[in-house]
Amino acid sequence: MNKVFLAALPVIRKIEDAGFKAYFVGGAVRDFLLEREIHDVDIATSATPFEIKDIFSSTVDVGIDHGTILVLYKGQSFEVTTFRSESNYKDFRRPDTVTFIRSLQEDLKRRDFTINAMAMDAAGNIIDPFNGKADLDHKLIKTVGEAKERFQEDALRLMRAIRFISQLGFSLDKKTHAELANHAHLLEHIAIERISAEMGKLLNGKHNEQALFLALNTNLYSFWPSLFNERELIKSLLELPIRQLNEVEMWVLSLYYSNTNQPVDLLKRWKLPVRKIKLILHSLSILNWRLNNKWSDYQLYSSGIDAAIIVERVFKTIQKEPINDIHTEIERRFNELPIVSRSDLAVSGKDLLGWIQKPAGPWMKGLISNIEEAILNKEISNDKMEIRRWVESCQNPSENS
Ligand code: ATP
Ligand code: MG
């Protein structure tokens, strides 16, 4: 058994010793069978949240209303969720209330796709009432039960279907495909935060072009928030080797192709975290520069290594070129720079104030930039005395002539 499962095994055994059932479920079982990396395991159990709290001395109520308890055991944490059924879906969204049940089969039945509706017991046996294993073998995304009903119950599943396509490179089962197209409009009922979380995984996926193609094909894209609701934009993306890009790079590329003059508003509408928005916008502005210029040491320095790598990867993608060793090439150039950040400078603002008899002001920022540029252009070295002479000669150019 995989070591991620082995670490959780004592938790399952302890629940079983108390007279309940417990299984590994969902994504971890799917990824295990696909021999993909397993991130975290989810445990499903017949014990109610309160019974779980009785069994373990250390727990956190992370989602007790939905039956989820975080169990802290031997220095690790495990999500344990009571078998549940969901009913009374309102407004095409997941229900707020759930019913705890004692049957694994019923719990698996409420799950979205057959490949996500398998369980594994402590002995490693797979419980697969909806033939998820066969669909894994056939590389199919297929809803558990009637696709029409399942999409009507929770329209987020429309997004989830194509993000699994992007991550796994699978196809949509025929009926699931047809009903996805029929119900694409239901996405309007889903909170943007939930759509955005799935979109991030979709953009990151190794088969993102397959997923975007399907989104076009089923019209799902037209219910996405602005930017990705542009047909022409998605078509342009599909002409490029976008599978080599990650989420942030995909945002940069898409903004570049959309020609929007309000990138901030677009990214905010998708509720991306502020730090991510900053990185995307910073990279976008450098990309526009890069399209007509080659990297100088100063531009590399002022971009920062993260943005430089993003920009170069997007740039190569626009050129329809592979990006195999860009990472190491940019890193190598960075390692050769005389300074990589302002804190590497051999002089401080205080030094400048001592040399130049002027009150502190915005001029200092400009001068520091000039010093950095001179160092990076190898006009001077990063040496305090040399910088001082250079600064003084700039202040009194006539003395030099
Ligand atoms: P990932 O590896 O990206 O975490 P995952 O399959 O584990 O993929 P989660 O969002 O973590 O996806 O959900 C865990 C499990 O819960 C899924 O495998 C599926 O069985 C079930 N599930 C999640 N969201 C839904 C939903 N909207 N409708 C039905 N079942 C769902
Ligand atoms: Mg998961």
Q: Which of 141-150, 325-334, 361-370 has the lowest mean pLDDT?
A: 325-334
Question: Can you give 111-142 as a three-state secondary structure string?
Answer: CCEHHHCCEECCCCCEECCCCHHHHHHCCEEC
Q: Is the CB of 179 under 6 A from ligand 1?
A: no
**Per-residue buried b or exposed e for 300-335, using 16+ beta carbons within 10 Å of the residue's own CB:** bbebbbebbbbbbbbbbbbeeeebeebeeebeeebe
Instruction: For residues 174-181, give the mean pLDDT.
Output: 98
Give domain status of residue 24, yes or no. yes
How many domains in the chain?
2
- The DSSP bridge partners found for residue 70 are 60, 79
What's the DSSP call for residue 61?
E
- The band of 327, judged by pLDDT with boundaries at 50, 70 and 90, is confident
Picking from 100, 237, 94, the residue whose alpha carbon sits closest to that of residue 166 is 237
Structure tokens at 65: 């209303």
Give domain status of residue 318, yes or no. no
Q: Is the CB of 107 under 6 A from ligand 1?
A: no
Percent of the chain's residues with pLDDT above 70: 98
Q: Is the CB of 53 under 6 A from ligand 1?
A: no
Ligand nearest to the CA of 201: 1
pLDDT at 397: 64
Instruction: For residues 51-73, give the mean pLDDT.
Output: 94
Where are the alpha helices (H) located in 259-383, listed in sequence order?
Answer: 263-269, 274-290, 297-303, 305-318, 326-335, 349-355, 363-376
Q: What is the CATH number of the domain that holds 68?
A: 3.30.460.10
pLDDT at 366: 92
- The band of 87, judged by pLDDT with boundaries at 50, 70 and 90, is confident
Dihedral, CA atoms, 110, 114, 115, 117, nearest 10 degrees?
30
111 among annotated binding-site residues? yes
Q: What is the CATH number of the domain that holds 357?
A: 1.10.246.80
- Please name the helix (run of DSSP H) or strand (run of DSSP E) that holds residue 165, with its range, or none: helix 156-168
Residue with tokens 């949240």: 49
Q: How far is CA 324 from CA 25, 246, 316, 319, in A?
A: 36, 14, 10, 14
In this model, does residue 236 exceed pLDDT 90?
yes
Q: Which of 57-61, 111-115, 136-140, 323-327 has the lowest mean pLDDT?
A: 323-327
What's the DSSP call for residue 107?
H
What's the DSSP call for residue 321?
-
Rounded to 5 degrees, φ, ψ at 237 are -60, -40
Structure tokens at 164: 């699994």
pLDDT at 98: 83
Rounded to 5 degrees, φ, ψ at 340 are -115, -10
pLDDT at 400: 45
pLDDT at 297: 94
Give domain status of residue 200, yes or no. no
Picking from 132, 133, 121, the residue whose alpha carbon sits closest to that of residue 1 is 121
Q: How far is CA 362 from the centre of its chain?
A: 38
> How far is it, in rounded angstroms, from Cα 65 to Cα 116?
22
Q: How far is CA 262 from CA 64, 195, 258, 348, in A?
A: 41, 21, 10, 37
389 among annotated binding-site residues? no
Whole-model pTM: value is: 0.91
42 among annotated binding-site residues? yes
- The DSSP bridge partners found for residue 84 are 100
Give domain status of residue 298, yes or no. no
In this model, does residue 340 exceed pLDDT 60?
yes
| DSSP annotation string for 219-273 | TGGGGSPTTTT-HHHHHHHHTS-GGG--HHHHHHHHHHHHT-S-HHHHHHHTT--
Task: Determine contact, residues 376/301, Cβ cutoff 8 Å.
Answer: yes
Give domain status of residue 250, yes or no. no
Q: What value does the CA radius of gyration of the chain take, rounded to a whole number of Å?
A: 28
pLDDT at 381: 95
Ligand nearest to the CA of 197: 1
Given 138, 153, 175, the domain boundary residue is 138
Q: Is the CB of 111 under 6 A from ligand 1?
A: yes
Rounded to 5 degrees, φ, ψ at 85 are -120, 150
pLDDT at 112: 97
In this model, does residue 401 exceed pLDDT 50?
no
Contacts 24+ apart (CB under 8 A), 57-66: 65/96, 65/97, 65/98, 66/98
Give domain status of residue 293, yes or no. no
Between the two ends of the chain, the Cα-to-Cα distance in Å is 78
Instruction: For residues 156-169, give the mean pLDDT.
Output: 98
In this model, does residue 39 exceed pLDDT 90?
no
Output the CA 8–ligand 1 centroid distance in Å: 19
Given 116, 138, 160, the domain boundary residue is 138
- Predicted complex ipTM: 0.98
pLDDT at 398: 58
Task: Determine contact, residues 83/45, Cβ cutoff 8 Å.
Answer: yes
Three-state secondary-structure class, residue 76:
strand
**What does the pLDDT look like over 96-147, one tens digit per residue?**
678 999 999 999 999 999 999 999 999 999 999 999 999 999 999 999 999 9
Which range marks the domain in which residue 384 is found?
Answer: 342-400
Relative to the CA of 28, which ligand 1 atom is closest?
7
Average pLDDT of the chain, as a whole number: 94
Residue with tokens 């397959």: 210
- The DSSP bridge partners found for residue 79 are 42, 70
Give domain status of residue 253, yes or no. no
Output the CA 25–ligand 2 centroid distance in Å: 10
Given 138, 157, 180, the domain boundary residue is 138
Give domain status of residue 18, yes or no. yes
84 among annotated binding-site residues? no
Question: According to the per-residue pLDDT averaged within each range, which of 160-169, 349-358, 383-392 is highest?
Answer: 160-169
